[in-house]
Amino acid sequence: MKLMPLIKKMSEVPMIGIEAKSVIIVLGALLSGTAPFVHMLAPRDSPEIVQLEAKLDSGDITEAEYNSALPVLKKEQKYLGYFNFRSFLYAIGTPIAMFYFSLLMLIAVNNIQEKLLRKSMRFAFLISIYISSYLICWVIFPRSDFPDGMYHFSLGVMALATLAFSWFLIAYKNDVREKIVKLIHFISIDTYTKYIRQEDKREFMNDSYKVYDDIT
């Protein structure tokens, strides 16, 4: 009597897992999708600069005092080399979104059955994850920019990746051609000599020629 409820409960587990993963994926997409726009929530200037501008407008300080204090406050509000935290969020928002959707590509590629498309998606994932990681590191890098050697290295990585993918396409095309040749050999030679009766061979050859004419 307890067997059916148990089977029903077990059948619901995979669906619950799929639903949970789907919710996590969508929430992650929403959060990472807002990353390029979240800088709009941050103030343009620090509270100290806002107060300084208010004092200038009210006449509590002179313009000379304002011009003297403003560079100091702007220097204090800098964040990781950017003008302020708002500028930092603006710079890192798009790379974060790109990084997340690159990870989604990795999840999706495991569900692709077709070999060429699966390999192509993996290639696109590697390129995308490298570029997004590069940009994130560039944003938080303590210097003003990467050394020139890093750019040269990245160009080399892209060139090697393109070369590797081109080699894969050529190898895949040759593999498909070899399989087609084997199939044609089996149909034209092996089937004809081993499995077709003598009285049916002429009809088999005529039908084979018609098929070859249609596909060539």
pLDDT, the chain, mean:
79
Q: How far is CA 160 from CA 19, 30, 47, 113, 165, in A?
A: 39, 34, 49, 26, 9
pLDDT at 170: 78
CB 136 within 8 Å of CB 92: yes
Q: What is the pLDDT of residues 28-74, one digit of tens each?
A: 888 888 999 998 988 888 888 889 888 888 888 888 888 888 888 88
CB 172 within 8 Å of CB 117: no
Q: What is the pLDDT of residues 125-139, one digit of tens each?
A: 888 888 898 889 888
Please, which residues bridge with residue 79 across strands? 82
Backbone φ and ψ of 82, nearest 5° = -90, 165
> pTM for the complete prediction?
0.61
Take residue 116 and report the two structure tokens written for it. Answer: 């060429």
Average pLDDT, 10 consecutive residues per value, the chain (216 residues): 46 58 84 89 88 88 88 87 89 92 85 81 86 88 70 79 76 76 74 73 75 69
Q: DSSP letters of the chain?
A: --HHHHHHHHHHHHHHHHHHHHHHHHHHHHHHHHTTTGGGGS-SS-HHHHHHHHHHHHTSS-HHHHHHHHHHHHHHT-BTTBSSHHHHHHHHHHHHHHHHHHHHHHHHHTT--SHHHHHHHHHHHHHHHHHHHHHHHHHH-SSSS--HHHHHHHHHHHHHHHHHHHHHHHHHHHHHHHHHHHHHHIIIIIIIIIIS-GGGHHHHHHHHHHHHHHH-
pLDDT at 13: 45
Question: Is the sign of the CA dihedral 88, 93, 95, 99 positive or negative?
Answer: positive
User: Distance between CA atoms of 92 and 139, rounded to whole angstroms?
Assistant: 6
